[in-house]
Structure 1
């Protein structure tokens, strides 16, 4: 009874499995179930001990008083304890479901004895602050559920395991972890010459096009390529018509957990938004696809046939890494354990550690990983050489 998988039991109960329903009802009050089983168990054991002692004394006299307990102990251990309980532990459902039928009726017959026994034992438990009536059953934390998913083995395909863990990890990440940084947002300055705008529109490869005036801080809105096609068909594509086609910008506060933002995207029917800090300044851009990729993996990718363009393996076993790479992506790609609770990029992590901008080549060790700053441009670390095989714990 106690070895039955509680989650499989609940599933079978929902499927109206009669044996599972009976076991579930018995396990709702484990104090009564244990009381019933122990009443029968002890009654049989004590009766067996008394009978064995009488038989031993009649057959062997005083020597039988010594032999009987030893013989009964061996018989009980082998045939009544170890063997049947090991079998039941290995095949709990095969034993529990048919046994529940007997126990259900025995509980009704022996209920007065079980009730009195439980009154006494529950009174003692109450002194210790334990209440069987308020037993909450089995529940799992997020970390425990991750362990269950990983331990599922062949029961859950590896890809599905990754997706399930990805869903659980959404609550541990924020929009800042996956957003396109402000300096990498691609948009069109509506104050540019119209011919330049037309050229940018023709080469734009994004599903939403951001329009702004002079700088990203003065964002106007997003334009969907569908609207551009509509204007082109009508031969009405002008700067004025382009401005009228923009949709209102959806702003996202920084620090919003990904699971929360996913629900907000669903509720507002939005697919893209600009991340702003507490002062209203734009920090980056997040799309619905970015969040979904955290769960199911990348739909489209900037990875070339040779691998991630931001991570270049070298003949000596080291890797040349773009300093602007997201730490979560770097950890996932190379199975690293760099901290992600602070800066979001490798450049930011190194600068936080050094507390200054390095002027030239510099070797450091971060989180046990030896690194070399190879290239610094525009106050940013552009290239880092990483030697993961030389990590020290």
Structure 2
């Protein structure tokens, strides 16, 4: 090799540096690719994406091949550099050549191509796959030996899983959505985050509590029942006998609208138009209940505890509102239990859910215990308070306004302003 012309050696050295830059950029580009965009493009029929996805099915072999090629060209380039240095400067050049070549290699074949590949992985990975895929065949024996020994060493230190997983946990997916920025409109971003939150929320968090259930007591006078049906703001009403714990059916008002036009209606006809009640166990996460509603083709469920006692009602609309928000922007219409005051405080009904308060007012009242404002006040005070009782709960000032039937009916709540 020493007899080769210097111009040929220099040209070969430049080609080796270009090859080293190619392998370095390919390694970074392959690793830096967005796996989800790659998978999407592959399913759309993008040829480059399909080649890259096939190469990444065995990342250990791909990296093994790239490193084998990179180390080979780097070592060969070092040899040529030493020959040229000896030819030009003698033994002194041979001593200085490694330092000079290392600097050139770092700049031209490592830092620059890897930085470019990290910033534009798509521009590197897809074209590089045209060369890397054919190289897998001649380098297969060497790559097989290298990856086999490497995997064996990994097993010795306890690393058994050799194939990475792109699966994301809910919290990781939440981070992806939060960092999507302008790629996802804010409203859609909020909806995606709300979907992820469904598994943290149970039916008790958003149900209509038993004390607020509007239903039909089939033992009442038929006239009172008809008046209730004609004035009801709800489309579905539970039918019970004497006690809400004894729910015997669900009546859809659309099915009985024609009956209400008749002068005579009996209870048997109402029962004929009702359906069997659909019961939901307490503690059911909302994401599961959403699927259960879909499978059962129901829109309303009766939430019961472990003893079979009725706790409240859960509707499909309640779950959908957890995802998309309220279906109306009128605060007075959608949150009748939250009334703003001129001094900046809010008079809130005690039965209002804490999640509804937090979502409406952008507060952070604790929701890991009681579900309603009344429950939160009773838990904090550990007794049933008298009217005008005031206390501080974290960053919130709460004044009990009305107490009736052993529960807080209304309270005035104000968020404390941060001190400067």
Do the structures match in fold with TM over 0.5?
yes
TM-superposed deviation, 1:3: 0.4
TM-superposed deviation, 1:136: 4.0
- CA–CA distance in 1 between the matches of 2:401 and 2:105? 74
- CA–CA distance in 1 between the matches of 2:92 and 2:415? 74
Aligned to 1:290: 318
Aligned to 1:135: 163
Query: Of residues 375, 384, 409 in structure 2, which corresponds to 1:348?
Result: 375
Aligned to 1:103: 132
Q: Tell me the alpha carbon deviations over residues 134-169 of structure 1, each in whole angstroms, 9 at most, x when there is no partner.
A: 514211001111111121122122222222222222
Q: Tell me the alpha carbon deviations over residues 281-318 of structure 1, each in whole angstroms, 9 at most, x when there is no partner.
A: 1110111111121112223587327x843333334433
- CA–CA distance in 2 between the matches of 1:333 and 1:382? 19
Preserved CA contact (<8 Å) 2:226 2:260: no
Q: For structure 1, which segment, 168-177 or 379-388, has the greater mean C-alpha deviation from structure 2 after superposition?
A: 379-388
TM-superposed deviation, 1:66: 4.4
Residue pairs, 1:45-56, within 5 angstroms = 45-56=74-85
TM-superposed deviation, 1:233: 5.4
- CA–CA distance in 2 between the matches of 1:82 and 1:89? 10
- CA–CA distance in 2 between the matches of 1:191 and 1:13? 64
Query: Of residues 64, 67, 70 in structure 2, which corresponds to 1:35?
Result: 64
- CA–CA distance in 2 between the matches of 1:200 and 1:209? 10
Query: Of residues 87, 90, 115 in structure 2, which corresponds to 1:86?
Result: 115
Query: Of residues 47, 51, 60 in structure 2, which corresponds to 1:18?
Result: 47
Q: Gapped runs of 5+ residues in structure 2?
A: 1-29
- CA–CA distance in 2 between the matches of 1:72 and 1:181? 77
TM-score (norm 2): 0.86
Aligned to 2:354: 327
Q: Tell me the alpha carbon deviations over residues 356-387 of structure 1, each in whole angstroms, 9 at most, x when there is no partner.
A: 11124333333443333333233222333333
Q: For structure 1, which segment, 174-183 or 371-380, has the greater mean C-alpha deviation from structure 2 after superposition?
A: 371-380
Preserved CA contact (<8 Å) 1:370 1:390: no
Query: Of residues 200, 218, 227 in structure 2, which corresponds to 1:199?
Result: 227
- CA–CA distance in 2 between the matches of 1:64 and 1:71? 10
Preserved CA contact (<8 Å) 1:369 1:390: no
Shift of the 391–211 alpha-carbon distance from structure 1 to 2, 3 Å rule, reads: farther
TM-superposed deviation, 1:2: 0.4
Query: Of residues 14, 17, 35 in structure 2, which corresponds to 1:6?
Result: 35
Secondary structure, aligned partner of 1:237: coil
- CA–CA distance in 2 between the matches of 1:197 and 1:119? 79
Q: Would you say 1:114 and 2:139 are equivalent positions?
A: no
Shift of the 163–263 alpha-carbon distance from structure 1 to 2, 3 Å rule, reads: same
Secondary structure, aligned partner of 1:304: helix
Secondary structure, aligned partner of 2:298: coil
Q: For structure 1, which segment, 255-264 or 193-202, has the greater mean C-alpha deviation from structure 2 after superposition?
A: 193-202
CA RMSD of aligned residues (A): 2.2
Q: For structure 1, which segment, 326-335 or 379-388, has the greater mean C-alpha deviation from structure 2 after superposition?
A: 379-388
Q: What is the number of equivalent residue pairs in this alignment?
A: 390
- CA–CA distance in 2 between the matches of 1:245 and 1:19? 60
Q: For structure 1, which segment, 101-110 or 264-273, has the greater mean C-alpha deviation from structure 2 after superposition?
A: 264-273
TM-superposed deviation, 1:234: 6.0
Residue pairs, 1:158-169, within 5 angstroms = 158-169=186-197
- CA–CA distance in 2 between the matches of 1:180 and 1:296? 19
Residue pairs, 1:223-234, within 5 angstroms = 223-232=251-260
Shift of the 197–120 alpha-carbon distance from structure 1 to 2, 3 Å rule, reads: closer
Preserved CA contact (<8 Å) 2:33 2:122: yes
- CA–CA distance in 2 between the matches of 1:182 and 1:218? 12
